[in-house]
Amino acid sequence: MIIQEKSVVVVGGGFSGALFGLKLHRAHPNWRIVIVEPKKKLGRGVAYGACGSQHLLNVPVSRMEIGLTPGFAKWLEPRRNEMAEALVESGLDLPSAYAPRRLFGDYMEERIGEALAAKTRTGLTAVRGEAVRLLSQGRGVLLTDGREIRADFVVLAMGNLPPRPPSGPDNWLYDTGYFVPDPWAADAFDDIDPDEPVLLIGAGLTMVDIALRLADEGHRGKMLAVSRRGLNPRTHKGGGAWVPFLHDKIPASPLALAKIVRAEIEKAEAQNIPWQRVFDAARPAVASVWNNWDDKSRRQFLRHLRVRWDIHRHRMAPRIGEELDSLLKNGKLEIVAGRLAGFQEAGNQVEATLKLRGGGSRVFKAGQVVNCTGPGNDFDKIAIPLVADLRERGLARADSLGVGFETEDCAVLDANGRPSSWLFALGPLTRPAWWEITAVPEINIQIDRLVAQLSSDTPAPRLTTADFLGMGEGI
C-alpha cells in the first residue's frame, strides 16, 4: 500500500524528539519532518547535554541500543580510549561498561547531524526556536519569533518540566542570587565560590550529579544535602538473575506491591542473588501495574512509596557509587534527613535552619543553595507558554496528579478525554499512562509504535503494557 506523503512537526529535539525524527525519516525519507528545538545541539536534551566527563550512564552500553546504525557499542569501539576507566571496571567488556553520558550525547548528535546533512526540500530539517502555541487555524505550531510551521501531525517531545523551587516558609530566597533554581542551566555555577559551603536541596540522582560535578571542579567548601528522608540512590551490582514475578499478578495497591517486592528480595538474598535483580525483573511490568491502578493507588504510591522505589529502581553506576561513598567518608558531603524550616541572610551567606527528621534542628551557613529536587511536577499549573496554551484551549489535559498529559497510545487526550487524531506526545510527558516512561529503553519502544502508527492509513496495533513486558527484564 502507498502511504500518502505527510508532514510532521516535532516539538523538542532532546533524546525523544531527535530519535523519533530519525526513525520517522528512516521510514519515510520523503516526508517533511521538522524538529523544533531552541538549543544549538540536537539529540542531547538535559540528560546527555548538561554533563561533564564524570557523569556516567546509569545503565550499561547494551541497554542504550536504540536500533540505529551503527549501534551504540559499535560506534564506541574506536572510542575505547575515551572510556578507559569504564572498561577497566567492566573487565574490558564494552557492552557491560557504564560509559560517560556525554558519549551517548555525541552518538545521538552525530546520528541526527548525518540525517540533517542531506539538504533536500523534503526530508528531515531542524528549526532553532521555541514553540509557544499551536496554530489557531489549521495544524502546526507558532514559534516565539512569530514563525509558523504547518504540518499534518504535531508530536510533543518537550521532556521533563524544569525543576521548581521546593515549597517552604522562606520563598524570598528563591528570588535571590543565593539560589540556583536549575542546576542544569548553563550559568548555574558561575557565581560559586569554591571555598564556600553549599546547601543541596534533595538527595536523589540530581544531587549526586551536582555533588560529583562540584567535587570534580575542585570545590573545597562543605556540601550538605537535605531531603525529607535523607535517602540517596543505591548502586548497581552485577550477578544472578531473577524470574519476572509481576507479569501475571498485578498488586492491587502500593502496599501490596511493597509486600511482594520485599518477599521476593528476601527469597533472592537467601540464594545470594543481589536484590537489584528483583527490581530488574519487576521493571518491564511497572507500566502494567501503574496502568491498572486507580488514581487513589497512584496517589498513595507517589506519597508513600515513590522515594523508596526510585532509589532502588534508578541506581548509580558502581563507579559513581564509589565516588559518592568517598565524598561521604571524607566529609566533603553529608546527607541529612530533614526539612528546611527557614532561611536568613548572614553577611554574604545564607543561614538555613533545618528541622531534622529524628528531632532537633541544625543551622547551616551556605554561600549557595542549589535546587536538586529533580524535574518539576505541576502540569496542571505551570505557565510555560506551550503547556499553558494546550491546557487552556482544552487541547490537552494534565492528569489529576499533575505528572504529565493524558494520552491514549501516544495520542493526546483533549479536555473531554477524546484522543486526538493529529496531536501526539512522547517520553516523560506521557507519564500518566505508563509512569515508567522516562528512560531510553521504554521511550524507544514508544517511538517505534508511534512511527508505525503514523505510517499506516489503517489503525495500527496500539501501544500497550504488553509492549513493555516484551522488553524483558534488565537494569
Ligand X SMILES: Cc1cc2nc3c(=O)[nH]c(=O)nc-3n(C[C@H](O)[C@H](O)[C@H](O)COP(=O)(O)OP(=O)(O)OC[C@H]3O[C@@H](n4cnc5c(N)ncnc54)[C@H](O)[C@@H]3O)c2cc1C
Binder to ligand X among 398, 439, 450, 475 (CB under 6 A)?
439
Under the binding rule (CB under 6 A), the answer on residue 432 touching ligand X is no
The only residue of 33, 36, 173, 208 in contact with ligand X, by rule CB under 6 A: 36
428 binds ligand X (CB under 6 A): yes
Question: Which region among 84-92, 233-241, 392-400, 433-441 touches ligand X (by CB under 6 A)?
Answer: 433-441
Q: How near is the Cβ of 106 to ligand X at its closest, in Å?
A: 14
Q: Does position 154 bind ligand X by CB under 6 A?
A: no
Shortest distance (Å) from residue 262 CB to ligand X = 26
Tell me the site size for ligand X, rule CB under 6 A: 30
* 37 touches ligand X by CB under 6 A: yes
Q: How far is the CB of 158 from ligand X (least distance, A)?
A: 4
Shortest Cβ 413–ligand X spacing (Å) = 19
Q: Is the preceding omega at residue 70 within 30 degrees of 0, hence cis? A: yes
Distance CA 424, CA 446 (A): 11
Residues 6+ apart with CB under 8 A from 179: 165, 173, 368, 369, 371
- Our CB check for ligand X shows the closer of 97 and 354 to be 97
Among 24, 25, 34, 58, binds ligand X (CB under 6 A): 58
* 11-19, 195-203, 291-299, 455-463 -> range binding ligand X (CB under 6 A): 11-19
Least separation, in Å, of the C-beta of 22 and ligand X?
Answer: 12
CB count, 10 Å around CB of 292? 12
Q: Near ligand X by CB under 6 A, which window of 76-84, 348-356, 400-408, 436-444?
A: 436-444
- The CB-of-314 to ligand X minimum distance in angstroms stands at 8
Window contacting ligand X (CB under 6 A); options: 36-44, 214-222, 227-235, 391-399: 36-44
Residue 208 makes contact with ligand X by CB under 6 A: no
| CA dist list (Å): 256 to 7, 48, 252, 261, 270 | 46, 36, 6, 9, 21
* 38 makes contact with ligand X (CB under 6 A): yes
**Distance between CA atoms of residues 413 and 378, nearest Å:** 17
Per the CB < 8 A criterion, the answer to whether 449 and 466 are in contact is no
Q: Does 46 bind ligand X (CB under 6 A)?
A: yes
Q: At what angle do helices 254-270 and 275-282 cross, to 10 degrees?
A: 140
Of the ranges 33-41, 105-113, 296-304, 404-412, which one interacts with ligand X (CB under 6 A)? 33-41
Nearest one of 208, 234, 20 to 101, comparing CA atoms? 208
Instruction: Using alpha carbons, select from 245, 243, 250 the residue that is nearest to residue 273.
Output: 243
Instruction: Based on the shown chain and the rule CB under 6 A, indicate whether residue 57 belongs to the binding site for ligand X.
Output: yes
CB neighbourhood size of 84 (10 A) = 10
- Examine residue 352 and tell whether it contacts ligand X (CB under 6 A): no
Candidates 90, 125, 160, 371; binder of ligand X (CB under 6 A) is 160
Residue in the structure block whose three cell numbers are 541500543:
65
Contact segment (CB under 6 A) with ligand X among 35-43, 212-220, 271-279, 351-359 equals 35-43
Of residues 24, 25, 45, 338, which one binds ligand X by CB under 6 A?
45
Contacts of 105 (CB under 8 A, 6+ apart): 41, 43, 44, 47, 48, 49, 51
Residue 438 found at the interface with ligand X (CB under 6 A): yes
Give 201-237 as a 3 state SS string: ECCCHHHHHHHHHHHHCCCCCCEEEEECCCCCCCECC
Q: From the list 24, 47, 108, 289, which residue makes contact with ligand X (rule: CB under 6 A)?
A: 47
| Residue 200, SS3 per DSSP | strand
Return the residue of 59, 161, 207, 320 that touches ligand X, per CB under 6 A.
59
Q: Give the nearer residue to ligand X in terms of CB position, either 17 or 251.
A: 17
CB 439, min distance to ligand X, A: 3
Distances (CA, A) of 326 to 315, 322, 418, 419: 17, 6, 52, 50
**Rule CB under 6 A: is residue 440 a binding residue for ligand X?**
yes
Residue bearing cell 516484551: 470
Give the three-state DSSP class for 96: helix
Name which of 183 and 338 has its Cβ closer to ligand X: 183
Looking at 6, 39, 133, 222, which residue binds ligand X (CB under 6 A)?
Answer: 39
Task: List % helix, strand, coil for the chain (3-state, nearest 5).
Answer: 35, 20, 45
Torsion, Cα 288 289 294 295, to 10 degrees, reads -100
**Does residue 338 touch ligand X according to CB under 6 A?**
no
The cell numbers describing 59, all together, are 545503565
Q: What does the per-residue mask of binding to ligand X show for 117-136, with x meaning CB under 6 A?
A: -------------xx-----
Helices 318-329 and 205-216 meet at what angle, rounded to 10?
Answer: 70
Other beta carbons within 10 angstroms of residue 241's beta carbon come to: 10
Is residue 389 a contact point for ligand X (CB under 6 A)?
A: no
Dihedral (C-alpha) 133, 138, 139, 144: value to the nearest 10 degrees?
Answer: -30
**9 lies in the site for ligand X, by CB under 6 A:** no
Find the shortest distance in angstroms from Cβ 144 to ligand X. Answer: 9
**Which residues of this chain interact with ligand X, rule CB under 6 A?**
11-17, 36-39, 45-47, 57-59, 130-131, 157-160, 209, 386, 427-428, 438-440
